[in-house]
Structure formats: structure tokens, C-alpha cells
Amino acid sequence: MAKNGNLVIFRNDNCKDFAPAVATGDFEPLNNYFVFPGFCDVHVHFREPGFSYKETILSGSKAAARGGYTSVCTMPNLNPVPDSLENLNVQRQIIEKDAVIDVYPYGAITVGQKGEELSDMESMAQYVIAFSDDGRGVQSEKMMLNAMERAKKLGKIIVAHCEDNSLLFGGYIHDGIYAKEHNHKGICSESEYAPIKRDLLLCEKTGCAYHVCHISCKESVELIRKAKSLGVNVTCETAPHYLVLTENDLKEDGKFKMNPPLRSIEDRNALIEGIKDGTIDMIATDHAPHSADEKSKGLANSAFGIVGIETAFPLLYTKLVKTNIISLEKLIDLIAINPRKRFNIPFNDSYTVWNLDEEFTVNPEEFLSKGKATPFEGEKLFGRCVKTVLDGKEVYSMLGDR
């Protein structure tokens, strides 16, 4: 880190091409401003086309910019599903028109994300960041093998939502203490780690680049750690809520419902060890907005998913860095550097300026996202985004909020 007047400009060996020209004259000088490379989130749901009442490319990208993000990758559970170039172009046109930051779409692995037939991967390959059926696990081993072989030839990553439907039994929270004590249907950890185990063997066989979405349990961490030690081409992500919350924090409220679910203290501890030792490569928000009505039906009947792109950095800084669990440099690696390295996403002269001394209370009504469901409502966090810049253009300024 290098000091520049009242600013601290963050640098490390992994972002040598990050060298912003920081304008300092448009906000009141305070202590402890930090300039970071623009954050990068490889797992967001911006819901457009098809579900713009939940979120749009415009509202989602504005929310991302407010959170310090200058690059995001949008998941394909849309309507139409981007399973062909024709369908993908519907989303690409909206991105071109409305996005205020760099938005990279995923292409679907299978037609309609139904797991029955491979998508037109060849036609989409040059226009998508990778291939995923996120929101649904690829149930067939043969289908995943074929997808990996095809992706390998195209030089693309398979990004997997790992969930075995045969092990769900109608569950909607972790199959643990809270579920038993409150008579809820649980989701077992095996529904996550069994598909990971299967896919790691396929990845080793095919040589395909493979990335695991939102891991949440200790068995997943150990499987990926072992695979990496064997040289398998695998990376993975977890989300902020799995590093901060457990099933012990659950309340009878839809804003605590996400998939995978909040798991045990032992699982959270394993995830933290995983980010410390490099088993977990990056943190992605899995920003998943829904309407107020869809999130108002309790744990059993609310839609899966919470928002988080506007609070991710303050949450992780407050809960992990200020408590000395990880360093600030490590956090920047996890949310800015490593995602770009794995997915080959350029910095595009982007940076974000933060006042790390400012404390605020999370108020969803202030979010730029259309989604308001967060389990962190009312939490006091440190770190306020002052501005975010992409390609020399200011895409967010705190002055616009005040």
C-alpha cells in the first residue's frame, strides 16, 4: 500500500496493471481513504430479461457500482435462457444499453437449464464468460461429462451449481439443529458435496477448467483441497453470508433463506480455513434479488436468495478484517484479484475509493438494488464507498446519495 496525501492506494503483486489516476478534489478530505482495484463478482443474478420486477441490468449494475464492483458475471436463469446465440443476444443488447459497469453473461450448459440436452455452446462461446446452469444442478453424470468435453474444446470454464435433487426431500434450510428444533425440512450437506465429488473426477478425466459455485459445507472444502493437491484444474467460491452466519443465526423470516442454506458453526469454520489456505479462491455475493412479496412468506415458502452486492465489502471488512481473521490484502485478493485471474477479466482502468473509518447501519430502503431482503438489516458495519470509477468514468459517487 502506498500513501498519497490523505489517500492510501492499495497495491500488491497480483495487480501490477492497476494504476489509477485518482482525483482527490471532489470530496471533503478525511483520514483513511483507501483506493482499491475495482471489485469483481463472478456470481450475480440481475434477472433481466424475464424477471425485471426483481432486478434489471440497470438497477443491478448501479447497485454493484455502489458496492465498489466494476465487473460482474450474470447467471443464466433468465427468460429466455441464454442457451443459444439468439437468446443470449437478448441479454447482450440490454447490457450494451443499460449497464453502468462491465457485465459478462454466462451461457447455459443445457437447453432451458433442463439438463436434458447441451446448449449451443459453440455459437455462444466467444460472447460468454463461461457456462453454467446455476440455480439447477446438472443431475446426469453423462451430461456433465459431455459438457466438460465440449467446454474443454472451446477453452471455457464449467461453473457448477452442485446440488443433487434426489437428496433434497423438500428441504429449504440446513438439516441441522435449527431444522429439528423448529420442525423445518432440512437440506443435507451431501446434496452439495456428492455432485462436487462426481465432477472432480470428471474434471480430472477431461482436463476441463471447473469452478464450483457458493460452497457452504466442510466436506466441499476438503474435497476441493484434495483435488487441488492432485493438480485438478478446479477453483471455487463461497459467499459472504456463509463466512459470517450459521444456522444458529436463523430467524423465521424469508431474508434468512438462501440456497445453499446457512450451515453449522463447523462448516463456517472450515470455510474460513479454506479462504486462509487458498482452497477457496474467491468470494462472490450470489446477489439474488426477489420482490418483497416473494420474500415475505417465511422460511418454508419464501423464494431462495438474498441481496448482498452493496454490503459485501463492508460486511467482510468488519467481520473478517477488523477482527484479524484475514488481512485487508487477502480480502482484496478474494474479491478483486483472484476472480479476474481465473476468468480472465481485465481491470479496464477501474478503481474504487473507500472511507474505512465510517460506520453505518444497514438499511435496505437505501439500496439501489430492487431487492431488499438481507439478513444483515440493522447491522452496524464499517466502510463506506466514496466513488467507483471504470474506464476513467465515475460510475458511482457517494455525493449522489447525500
d(C-alpha 122, C-alpha 156), whole Å: 10
Write down the pLDDT at residue 18. Answer: 52
Query: What does R_g of the chain's alpha carbons equal in angstroms?
Result: 20
Domain membership flag for residue 13: no
| pLDDT tens by residue, the chain, 402 residues | 555 545 566 555 555 555 444 444 443 444 568 999 999 999 999 999 999 999 999 999 999 999 999 999 999 999 999 999 999 999 999 999 999 999 999 999 999 999 999 999 999 999 999 999 999 999 999 999 999 999 999 999 999 999 999 999 999 999 999 999 999 999 999 999 999 999 999 999 999 999 999 999 999 999 999 999 999 999 999 999 999 999 999 999 999 999 999 999 999 999 999 999 999 999 999 999 999 999 999 999 999 999 999 999 999 999 999 999 999 999 999 999 999 999 999 999 999 999 999 999 999 999 999 999 999 999 999 999 999 999 999 999 988 776
Considering the candidates 102, 199, 267, 286, report the single residue annotated as catalytic.
286
Domain at 257, CATH number = 3.20.20.140
Enter the pTM of the model.
Answer: 0.94
Write down the pLDDT at residue 22. Answer: 44
401 is catalytic: no
Write down the pLDDT at residue 155. Answer: 98
Residue 68 in 3-state DSSP? coil
Q: Letter for the amino acid at 383? A: G
Write down the pLDDT at residue 11. Answer: 53
Domain membership flag for residue 266: yes
Write down the pLDDT at residue 21. Answer: 42
Domain membership flag for residue 12: no
d(C-alpha 303, C-alpha 269), whole Å: 27
Q: Letter for the amino acid at 303? A: A
Q: How many CB atoms lie within 10 A of CB 22?
A: 15
Q: Would you tell me the crossing angle of helices 85-98 and 57-66 to the nearest 10 degrees? A: 50
Write down the pLDDT at residue 6. Answer: 52
89, 121 contact by CB (below 8 A): no
Write down the pLDDT at residue 26. Answer: 43
Domain membership flag for residue 19: no
Domain membership flag for residue 290: yes
Domain membership flag for residue 107: yes
* Angle 52-53-58 from CA coordinates, rounded to 5°: 45
Residue 92 in 3-state DSSP? helix
Residue 132 in 3-state DSSP? strand
The alpha carbon of residue 242 and the mean position of all alpha carbons in its chain are separated, in whole angstroms, by 12
d(C-alpha 201, C-alpha 183), whole Å: 37
**Structural domain boundaries enclosing 323:** 38-401
Write down the pLDDT at residue 29. Answer: 40
Q: Would you tell me the crossing angle of helices 265-277 and 218-229 to the nearest 10 degrees? A: 30
Domain membership flag for residue 20: no
Domain membership flag for residue 22: no
Number of domains in the chain: 1
d(C-alpha 263, C-alpha 64), whole Å: 26
d(C-alpha 94, C-alpha 97), whole Å: 5
